[in-house]
Amino acid sequence: MWLEPARNPAAKLPYRWVLEAVDGHLVGIDTSLPNTLVAEALGRLQPLSGYADVRPEVRYDANSRIDLLLGGHPDDPRPCYVEVKNVHWRRGDLAAFPDSVTARGAKHLAALARQAAAGARAVMCYVVQRADCAGVTLAADLDPAYAAAAVTARQAGVEFMAFHCALTTTRVELAGPLPIVEP
């Protein structure tokens, strides 16, 4: 297990849990890191490259914030709403999301679906903080409501994408795309 000093001086604990070794592989635990990883990699993430404007944590919809709002694409004038989710749980050879019931996650999918239905580009991006998974799947048995919200979002035009990470004890970075496998 790897810890690092807490960034927030008002944090309850002086250290944060960031990495763990599981079955000989590093697994990223820091749930705040994926947003940063995606924002830093936008220029090289083919499905999300080309946007001139990147705004994090923008209020939208009913009491929601989007992780990244992209704009200024030379070929697509639509705003692009990007919701990023951390994935660290593995089942078999697939990463699985969510690892617990997430009404908030289903709410985010519904908000993305409304944006897509209104004509915006909307993207659900899963960041797998481990390098030992062949793809990503939804844990529909664990959270059927989230899985149903994902089906509705996809039907509304939300794009789904996933990326795995390369991890060392000193650095985590996006390494490449992963396929999304239907549950």
Q: Quick check: helix, strand or coil at residue 180?
A: strand
53: which 2 tokens? Answer: 């404007």
Q: Is the pTM of this model over 0.85?
A: yes
Q: What is the CATH number of the domain that holds 61?
A: 3.40.1350.60
Question: Is the residue at 22 inside a domain?
Answer: no
Question: Is the residue at 21 inside a domain?
Answer: no
- Residue by residue, pLDDT tens for the chain (183 residues) are 999 998 888 999 999 899 999 988 999 998 889 999 999 999 888 889 999 999 999 999 878 899 999 999 999 999 999 999 999 999 999 999 999 999 999 999 999 999 999 999 999 999 999 999 999 999 999 999 999 999 999 999 999 999 999 999 999 999 999 999 987
At residue 79, φ and ψ (nearest 5 deg) are -70, 150
Question: Is the residue at 139 inside a domain?
Answer: yes
User: Sheet of 25-28: strands edge to edge?
Assistant: 2-5, 15-22, 25-28
Question: Is the residue at 5 inside a domain?
Answer: no
Question: Is the residue at 89 inside a domain?
Answer: yes
Alpha helices for the chain (secondary structure H): 33-41, 103-117, 144-156
Number of structural domains in the chain? 1
Q: Which domain holds residue 161?
A: 31-181
Question: Is the residue at 160 inside a domain?
Answer: yes
Question: Is the residue at 152 inside a domain?
Answer: yes
Question: Is the residue at 18 inside a domain?
Answer: no
Inter-residue contact 127 to 87 (CB < 8 Å):
yes
